Amino acid sequence: MEQKSRIVSPVVWQLLSFVLFFGLWEVAGRWPISFAFPPFSKTFMALIRMIADGSLPKAYLSTLQPLVIGIFFCSIAGIGFGVGMGLSRTIEWFSLPVFIVLQAAPMAAIIPLLTYMYGIGLTSKVLAVVVLAAPVIVMNSYKGIRNTNPSLIQMCRAFLGTRRQEVIKIILPHAAALIFAGLRLGLAMGFIGIVIAELLITPTGIGDLITYHSSVADYPEMFAAIASIIMLAALTIHALERLERRLFPPEIRET
Protein backbone atom coordinates (compact mmCIF):
# COMPACT_ATOMS: atom_id res chain seq x y z
CA MET A 1 0.00 0.00 0.00
CA GLU A 2 2.72 2.41 1.08
CA GLN A 3 4.80 1.72 -2.00
CA LYS A 4 1.84 2.28 -4.27
CA SER A 5 1.06 5.68 -2.79
CA ARG A 6 4.70 6.60 -3.24
CA ILE A 7 4.59 5.80 -6.94
CA VAL A 8 1.34 7.67 -7.55
CA SER A 9 2.02 11.13 -6.19
CA PRO A 10 -0.79 13.17 -4.60
CA VAL A 11 -0.67 15.56 -7.56
CA VAL A 12 -1.96 12.78 -9.80
CA TRP A 13 -4.89 12.14 -7.47
CA GLN A 14 -5.69 15.84 -7.37
CA LEU A 15 -5.61 16.04 -11.17
CA LEU A 16 -7.83 12.97 -11.36
CA SER A 17 -10.33 14.64 -9.06
CA PHE A 18 -10.44 17.66 -11.39
CA VAL A 19 -10.84 15.43 -14.46
CA LEU A 20 -13.69 13.57 -12.76
CA PHE A 21 -15.41 16.82 -11.72
CA PHE A 22 -15.12 18.46 -15.15
CA GLY A 23 -16.15 15.19 -16.81
CA LEU A 24 -19.32 15.00 -14.72
CA TRP A 25 -19.98 18.67 -15.48
CA GLU A 26 -19.62 17.94 -19.21
CA VAL A 27 -22.07 15.01 -19.02
CA ALA A 28 -24.54 16.98 -16.88
CA GLY A 29 -24.35 19.94 -19.28
CA ARG A 30 -25.09 17.75 -22.29
CA TRP A 31 -28.11 16.17 -20.58
CA PRO A 32 -31.09 17.87 -22.19
CA ILE A 33 -32.69 19.14 -18.99
CA SER A 34 -31.93 22.83 -18.86
CA PHE A 35 -30.73 25.06 -21.63
CA ALA A 36 -29.32 27.35 -18.93
CA PHE A 37 -26.68 24.84 -17.81
CA PRO A 38 -23.85 24.67 -20.36
CA PRO A 39 -21.35 21.80 -20.46
CA PHE A 40 -17.78 22.29 -19.30
CA SER A 41 -16.34 22.49 -22.82
CA LYS A 42 -18.59 25.38 -23.84
CA THR A 43 -17.92 27.20 -20.58
CA PHE A 44 -14.20 26.76 -21.03
CA MET A 45 -14.34 28.10 -24.59
CA ALA A 46 -16.37 31.07 -23.35
CA LEU A 47 -13.71 31.72 -20.69
CA ILE A 48 -10.97 31.76 -23.36
CA ARG A 49 -13.08 34.11 -25.51
CA MET A 50 -13.66 36.48 -22.61
CA ILE A 51 -9.97 36.57 -21.75
CA ALA A 52 -9.07 37.13 -25.40
CA ASP A 53 -11.49 40.01 -25.99
CA GLY A 54 -10.32 41.68 -22.77
CA SER A 55 -13.73 41.79 -21.08
CA LEU A 56 -12.68 39.47 -18.25
CA PRO A 57 -9.40 41.22 -17.38
CA LYS A 58 -11.20 44.57 -17.52
CA ALA A 59 -13.93 43.26 -15.19
CA TYR A 60 -11.35 42.03 -12.69
CA LEU A 61 -9.62 45.36 -12.71
CA SER A 62 -12.77 46.99 -11.35
CA THR A 63 -13.76 44.07 -9.08
CA LEU A 64 -10.40 43.80 -7.38
CA GLN A 65 -10.19 47.52 -6.63
CA PRO A 66 -12.74 47.62 -3.75
CA LEU A 67 -11.56 44.20 -2.59
CA VAL A 68 -7.94 45.31 -2.26
CA ILE A 69 -8.85 48.63 -0.63
CA GLY A 70 -11.25 46.90 1.77
CA ILE A 71 -8.82 44.15 2.78
CA PHE A 72 -5.99 46.65 3.15
CA PHE A 73 -8.12 48.78 5.46
CA CYS A 74 -9.27 45.71 7.41
CA SER A 75 -5.78 44.37 7.89
CA ILE A 76 -4.57 47.61 9.43
CA ALA A 77 -7.63 48.75 11.39
CA GLY A 78 -8.95 45.23 12.06
CA ILE A 79 -5.71 43.84 13.44
CA GLY A 80 -5.15 47.08 15.36
CA PHE A 81 -8.59 46.84 16.90
CA GLY A 82 -8.28 43.15 17.70
CA VAL A 83 -4.88 43.61 19.31
CA GLY A 84 -6.21 46.59 21.27
CA MET A 85 -9.16 44.53 22.49
CA GLY A 86 -6.82 41.76 23.53
CA LEU A 87 -4.51 44.07 25.44
CA SER A 88 -6.98 46.43 27.07
CA ARG A 89 -10.00 45.41 29.13
CA THR A 90 -11.60 48.80 28.49
CA ILE A 91 -11.50 48.47 24.71
CA GLU A 92 -12.67 44.88 25.07
CA TRP A 93 -15.62 45.95 27.21
CA PHE A 94 -17.21 48.30 24.74
CA SER A 95 -16.28 46.69 21.44
CA LEU A 96 -16.41 42.93 21.94
CA PRO A 97 -20.25 42.74 21.91
CA VAL A 98 -20.36 44.73 18.66
CA PHE A 99 -18.01 42.33 16.91
CA ILE A 100 -19.79 39.26 18.25
CA VAL A 101 -23.07 40.62 16.84
CA LEU A 102 -21.38 41.56 13.55
CA GLN A 103 -19.92 38.08 13.24
CA ALA A 104 -23.29 36.46 13.67
CA ALA A 105 -25.34 38.92 11.61
CA PRO A 106 -26.28 38.03 8.02
CA MET A 107 -24.29 40.79 6.38
CA ALA A 108 -26.04 40.63 3.01
CA ALA A 109 -29.02 42.19 4.80
CA ILE A 110 -26.95 45.27 5.64
CA ILE A 111 -25.87 45.92 2.07
CA PRO A 112 -29.08 47.69 0.96
CA LEU A 113 -28.57 49.96 3.97
CA LEU A 114 -25.02 50.73 2.81
CA THR A 115 -26.36 51.63 -0.63
CA TYR A 116 -28.93 53.90 0.97
CA MET A 117 -26.28 55.69 3.01
CA TYR A 118 -23.29 55.76 0.69
CA GLY A 119 -24.80 55.48 -2.78
CA ILE A 120 -23.79 53.08 -5.48
CA GLY A 121 -20.14 54.02 -5.84
CA LEU A 122 -16.84 52.60 -4.71
CA THR A 123 -17.45 53.55 -1.05
CA SER A 124 -20.35 51.15 -0.53
CA LYS A 125 -18.50 48.34 -2.25
CA VAL A 126 -15.43 48.85 -0.09
CA LEU A 127 -17.73 48.93 2.94
CA ALA A 128 -19.41 45.70 1.84
CA VAL A 129 -15.99 44.04 1.84
CA VAL A 130 -15.14 45.60 5.20
CA VAL A 131 -18.33 44.58 7.04
CA LEU A 132 -17.84 40.99 5.92
CA ALA A 133 -14.11 40.71 6.44
CA ALA A 134 -13.56 42.84 9.54
CA PRO A 135 -15.30 40.71 12.22
CA VAL A 136 -13.26 37.58 11.55
CA ILE A 137 -9.98 39.54 11.33
CA VAL A 138 -10.71 41.42 14.56
CA MET A 139 -11.89 38.34 16.45
CA ASN A 140 -8.90 36.25 15.40
CA SER A 141 -6.42 38.94 16.44
CA TYR A 142 -8.28 39.35 19.73
CA LYS A 143 -8.26 35.62 20.45
CA GLY A 144 -4.62 35.35 19.42
CA ILE A 145 -3.67 37.98 21.97
CA ARG A 146 -5.94 36.61 24.70
CA ASN A 147 -4.73 33.03 24.35
CA THR A 148 -1.13 33.86 25.15
CA ASN A 149 0.29 31.25 27.47
CA PRO A 150 0.18 32.90 30.92
CA SER A 151 3.37 31.06 31.87
CA LEU A 152 5.30 32.95 29.17
CA ILE A 153 3.98 36.29 30.42
CA GLN A 154 4.94 35.42 33.98
CA MET A 155 8.34 34.30 32.74
CA CYS A 156 8.81 37.71 31.15
CA ARG A 157 7.77 39.39 34.41
CA ALA A 158 10.08 37.17 36.45
CA PHE A 159 12.94 38.47 34.27
CA LEU A 160 11.78 42.00 35.09
CA GLY A 161 10.64 42.59 31.50
CA THR A 162 8.63 45.75 30.90
CA ARG A 163 5.04 45.69 29.64
CA ARG A 164 6.36 46.88 26.27
CA GLN A 165 8.78 43.94 26.06
CA GLU A 166 6.00 41.62 27.16
CA VAL A 167 3.82 42.78 24.25
CA ILE A 168 6.54 42.89 21.59
CA LYS A 169 8.57 39.83 22.53
CA ILE A 170 5.90 37.47 23.88
CA ILE A 171 2.31 38.41 23.10
CA LEU A 172 2.60 39.58 19.47
CA PRO A 173 4.82 36.72 18.22
CA HIS A 174 2.52 34.34 20.05
CA ALA A 175 -0.56 35.77 18.33
CA ALA A 176 1.02 36.13 14.88
CA ALA A 177 -0.13 32.75 13.57
CA LEU A 178 -3.76 33.30 14.58
CA ILE A 179 -3.71 36.88 13.25
CA PHE A 180 -2.45 35.62 9.90
CA ALA A 181 -5.12 32.91 9.83
CA GLY A 182 -7.66 35.68 10.48
CA LEU A 183 -6.38 37.60 7.47
CA ARG A 184 -6.78 34.54 5.29
CA LEU A 185 -10.36 33.96 6.48
CA GLY A 186 -11.02 37.69 6.12
CA LEU A 187 -9.90 37.62 2.50
CA ALA A 188 -12.25 34.69 1.84
CA MET A 189 -15.10 36.74 3.37
CA GLY A 190 -13.96 39.73 1.29
CA PHE A 191 -14.45 37.73 -1.92
CA ILE A 192 -17.99 36.93 -0.80
CA GLY A 193 -18.53 40.59 0.06
CA ILE A 194 -17.36 41.93 -3.24
CA VAL A 195 -19.49 39.52 -5.31
CA ILE A 196 -22.58 40.27 -3.20
CA ALA A 197 -21.89 43.99 -3.58
CA GLU A 198 -21.52 43.75 -7.33
CA LEU A 199 -24.71 41.75 -7.63
CA LEU A 200 -26.80 43.78 -5.16
CA ILE A 201 -25.50 47.35 -5.40
CA THR A 202 -24.61 48.09 -9.01
CA PRO A 203 -23.44 45.60 -11.55
CA THR A 204 -19.77 46.37 -12.16
CA GLY A 205 -16.82 44.14 -12.88
CA ILE A 206 -17.43 40.46 -12.49
CA GLY A 207 -20.95 41.01 -11.12
CA ASP A 208 -21.77 42.92 -14.28
CA LEU A 209 -20.49 40.08 -16.48
CA ILE A 210 -22.64 37.60 -14.54
CA THR A 211 -25.82 39.73 -14.68
CA TYR A 212 -25.34 40.87 -18.27
CA HIS A 213 -24.67 37.43 -19.74
CA SER A 214 -27.50 35.91 -17.77
CA SER A 215 -29.93 38.58 -19.02
CA VAL A 216 -29.04 37.96 -22.68
CA ALA A 217 -28.99 34.18 -22.14
CA ASP A 218 -25.25 33.75 -22.86
CA TYR A 219 -25.07 30.99 -20.29
CA PRO A 220 -21.57 29.69 -21.10
CA GLU A 221 -20.19 33.23 -20.59
CA MET A 222 -22.15 33.62 -17.36
CA PHE A 223 -20.82 30.33 -16.00
CA ALA A 224 -17.30 31.21 -17.13
CA ALA A 225 -17.47 34.45 -15.14
CA ILE A 226 -18.75 32.59 -12.05
CA ALA A 227 -16.15 29.84 -12.39
CA SER A 228 -13.36 32.38 -12.82
CA ILE A 229 -14.11 34.21 -9.57
CA ILE A 230 -14.38 30.90 -7.71
CA MET A 231 -11.02 29.87 -9.18
CA LEU A 232 -9.36 33.16 -8.30
CA ALA A 233 -10.66 33.05 -4.72
CA ALA A 234 -9.63 29.42 -4.26
CA LEU A 235 -6.12 30.00 -5.64
CA THR A 236 -5.55 33.14 -3.58
CA ILE A 237 -6.69 31.52 -0.35
CA HIS A 238 -4.63 28.42 -1.11
CA ALA A 239 -1.53 30.53 -1.75
CA LEU A 240 -2.06 32.35 1.55
CA GLU A 241 -2.49 29.04 3.34
CA ARG A 242 0.84 27.80 1.98
CA LEU A 243 2.52 31.05 2.98
CA GLU A 244 1.01 30.66 6.45
CA ARG A 245 2.44 27.15 6.81
CA ARG A 246 5.86 28.40 5.75
CA LEU A 247 5.85 31.38 8.08
CA PHE A 248 4.31 29.61 11.07
CA PRO A 249 4.96 25.86 10.97
CA PRO A 250 2.44 24.16 13.30
CA GLU A 251 5.21 22.80 15.53
CA ILE A 252 6.55 26.20 16.55
CA ARG A 253 3.09 27.40 17.49
CA GLU A 254 1.97 27.13 21.07
CA THR A 255 -0.10 24.01 21.59
Partner 1 sequence: MSADTIVQIKEVRKIYDGGVEALTDVSLGLPRGRLSTLLGPAGAVRQRSSKIIAGLISPTSGEVWVKGKKVDGPGPERAFVFQDFALLPWANVLRNVAFGLELRGTSKEQRFEVARKHIAEVGLSSFESSYPHQLSGACAKGSGSLAPWQSMPILS
Q: Which residues bind partner 1 (CB under 8 A)?
A: 149, 151-152, 154-161, 165, 169-170, 173-174, 251-255
The distance of closest approach from Cβ of residue 82 to partner 1 in the complex, given in angstroms and rounded to an integer, is 20
Helix and strand element counts for the chain (H, E): 13, 0
Nearest distance, CB of residue 170 and partner 1, angstroms: 7
Nearer to partner 1, 7 or 160 (CB): 160
| For partner 1, the closer CB: 152 or 232 | 152
Min. distance of Cβ 120 from partner 1 in angstroms? 47
Nearer to partner 1, 4 or 164 (CB): 164
Q: Which is nearer to partner 1, 242 or 253 (CB)?
A: 253
CB contact burial 169-204 (16+ within 10 A = b; e otherwise) = ebbbebbebbbbbbbbbbbbbbbbbbbbbbbbbbbb
Q: Which lies closer to partner 1 via its Cβ, residue 6 or residue 164?
A: 164
- Minimum distance from CB of 152 to partner 1 (Å)? 5
Buried b / exposed e along 124-154 (16+ C-beta atoms within 10 A): bbbbbbbbbbbbbbbbbbbbbbeebeeebbe
| Smallest separation, CB 83 to partner 1 (Å) | 18
DSSP 8-state symbol, 170: I
Q: Are 195 and 255 in contact (CB under 8 A)?
A: no
- CA dist list (Å): 194 to 106, 190, 244: 15, 6, 24
